[in-house]
């Protein structure tokens, strides 16, 4: 967090007081890529003089080469990313050298660490903050996994708790509670290789639910406690927010594509027609007319486009168990994390799969909390196509790339020239391997 300079108010007759600086700090242009199982999105933006974000370019492609967040076909993923980034670059009339990318690969995990750092009675300095975070990063290192985020939740100077920025405070011991998010190193190297093949570098790698929370949660929800659930095509991720911080996150290899596959298998139809049935007629809750409404279903492999007729209730009965399973897993993860109380009584659903009718009501019933659907905050220049829940992560990534959601932005945490954190990690891997 930046130190606030002392402000001198001008005399009343000279005009209004100086306004606070914009919350975004980067000018631009800068770009992000949201790589998902079912879609790839690229946004190019810049920060306006009033601190708001403007989208200069937008690209969207069908996702290819990914399964449950992990890259399984390097060439297919490269083609999708190249096409997507090219669309955004042409629209923005600029070329990107580096991008901020969402983290869904490598089975991301969330852990908490408590670090004690000796200060010896002097004032806490930037070097102490840097030392605490590096100590947490070192303690989090596990064979085969690498930390991506080391997020300070709060500090304590001796017996004084709940300190946000301890710099300048005198203490004997600086205590810190750190939230570390790590992922499998091999999956990260595959992601870096894929982006490099697109003639780009990864400037930063950001947890998908962290990005979704930045775009979809209001300030009061982040402060008082809320759980955001990002229901994507191949994965569902959740994050617990409290005291304006992301306290816990978890990823599940279940998404909307699994519902589509269930329908295709259960109705003996193609994935394309199963997706169409889900979009037009899908629901999680039953209605009295479901048994009477008959839906045409093209049978897979049949000649002459032979159609079967199935009641809508059959579609609902195939969809419901998969959505129930998803929320059962989320409830188990929330209970086992010990964050149920910190999460408060609020749940925000986002991501493309949350738009299925009845999902909100089922979530409220199974999780026992108030539930609302979350959309990304409005961004100037963003097409209407990208304003729905499916693009919450992309909008949050753009906010992060602009400087939102970060702590201690004025400290070079590694004592090195400013280089993206993920780039430093990749360089470390190359040196070691």
Q: CA 333 → CA 143, 156, 254, 321, 338, distances in Å?
A: 24, 28, 14, 18, 9
Question: pLDDT tens, 24-34?
Answer: 567 779 999 99
pLDDT band at 343 (very low <50, low <70, confident <90, very high): confident
The mean-pLDDT minimum among 37-41, 53-57, 84-88, 377-381 falls in: 377-381
- When pLDDT is averaged across residues 60-75 and rounded to a whole number, the result is 91
Kindly give, in sequence order, each residue whose CB lies less than 8 Å from that of residue 427, ignoring residues fewer than 6 positions away: none
pLDDT band at 118 (very low <50, low <70, confident <90, very high): very high
Question: pLDDT tens, 354-413?
Answer: 999 999 999 999 999 999 999 888 888 888 888 889 999 999 999 999 888 776 665 655
Q: What percent of the chain has pLDDT over 70?
A: 87
At 392, is the secondary structure helix, strand, or coil?
helix
Question: ω into residue 229 within 30 of 0, thus cis?
Answer: no
Whether pLDDT at 91 is above 90 = yes
pLDDT in the model for residue 181: 93
Whether pLDDT at 428 is above 70 = no
Can you tell me the distance from the alpha carbon of 410 to that of 401, in angstroms, rounded to the nearest whole number?
Answer: 15
Can you tell me the distance from the alpha carbon of 216 to that of 33, in angstroms, rounded to the nearest whole number?
Answer: 18
Note the Cα 407 to chain centre separation in Å. 17
Residue 197, classified by CB atoms within 10 Å of its CB into exposed (0-12), middle (13-18) or buried (19+), is: middle
Whether pLDDT at 1 is above 70 = no
Interaxial angle between packed helices 271-281 and 312-337, expressed in degrees from 0 to 180 and rounded to the nearest 10: 80
Question: pLDDT tens, 196-243?
Answer: 999 999 999 999 999 999 999 999 999 999 999 999 999 999 999 998
Whether pLDDT at 430 is above 70 = no
Whether pLDDT at 159 is above 80 = yes
Question: Is the model more confident about 311 or about 407?
Answer: 311
Can you tell me the distance from the alpha carbon of 26 to that of 47, in angstroms, rounded to the nearest whole number?
Answer: 6
pLDDT in the model for residue 378: 81
Can you tell me the distance from the alpha carbon of 95 to that of 97, in angstroms, rounded to the nearest whole number?
Answer: 7
Question: pLDDT tens, 205-218?
Answer: 999 999 999 999 99
Across the chain, mean pLDDT equals: 86
pLDDT in the model for residue 4: 43
Domains identified in the chain and CATH numbers: 109-184 (3.30.1490.110)
């Amino acid at each position: 967090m930046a130190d606030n300079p002392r402000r001198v108010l001008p005399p009343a007759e000279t005009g209004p007081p100086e306004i606070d600086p914009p919350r975004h700090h980067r000018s631009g242009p800068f770009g992000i890529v949201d790589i998902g199982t079912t879609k790839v999105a690229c946004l190019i933006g810049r920060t306006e003089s009033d601190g708001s974000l403007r989208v200069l370019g937008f690209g969207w492609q069908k996702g290819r080469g990914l399964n449950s967040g992990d890259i399984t076909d390097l060439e297919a993923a490269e083609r999708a990313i190249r096409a997507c980034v090219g669309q955004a670059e042409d629209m923005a009339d600029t070329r990107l050298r580096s991008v901020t990318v969402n983290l869904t690969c490598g089975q991301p995990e969330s852990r908490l660490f408590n670090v004690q750092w000796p200060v010896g009675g002097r004032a806490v300095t930037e070097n102490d903050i840097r030392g605490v975070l590096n100590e947490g990063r070192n303690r989090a290192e596990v064979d085969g996994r690498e930390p991506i985020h080391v997020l300070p939740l709060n500090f304590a100077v001796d017996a004084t708790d709940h300190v946000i920025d301890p710099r300048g405070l005198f203490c004997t011991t600086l205590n810190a509670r750190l939230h570390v998010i790590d992922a499998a190193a091999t999956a990260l190297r595959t992601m870096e290789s894929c982006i490099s093949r697109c003639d780009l570098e990864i400037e930063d790698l950001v947890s998908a639910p962290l990005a979704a929370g930045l775009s979809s949660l209001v300030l009061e929800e982040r402060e008082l406690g809320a759980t955001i659930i990002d229901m994507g095509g191949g994965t569902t991720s959740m994050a617990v927010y409290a005291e304006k911080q992301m306290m816990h996150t978890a990823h599940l290899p279940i998404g909307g594509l699994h519902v589509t596959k269930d329908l295709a298998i259960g109705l003996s139809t193609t994935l394309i027609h199963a997706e169409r049935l889900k979009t037009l007629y899908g629901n999680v809750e039953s209605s009295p007319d479901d048994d009477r409404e008959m839906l045409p279903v093209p049978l897979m492999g049949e000649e002459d486009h032979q159609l079967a007729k199935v009641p809508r209730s059959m579609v609902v009965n195939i969809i419901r168990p998969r959505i129930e399973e998803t929320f059962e897993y989320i409830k188990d993860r929330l209970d086992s994390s010990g964050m149920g109380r910190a999460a408060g009584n609020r749940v925000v659903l986002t991501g493309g799969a949350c738009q299925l009718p009845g999902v909100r009501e089922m979530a409220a019933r199974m999780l026992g909390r108030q539930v609302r659907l979350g959309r990304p905050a409005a961004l100037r220049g963003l097409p209407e196509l990208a304003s729905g829940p499916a693009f919450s992560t992309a909008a949050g990534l753009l906010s992060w790339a602009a400087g939102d959601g970060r702590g201690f932005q004025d400290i070079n945490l590694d004592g090195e020239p400013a280089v993206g954190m993920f780039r430093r990690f990749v360089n470390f891997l190359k040196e070691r391997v």
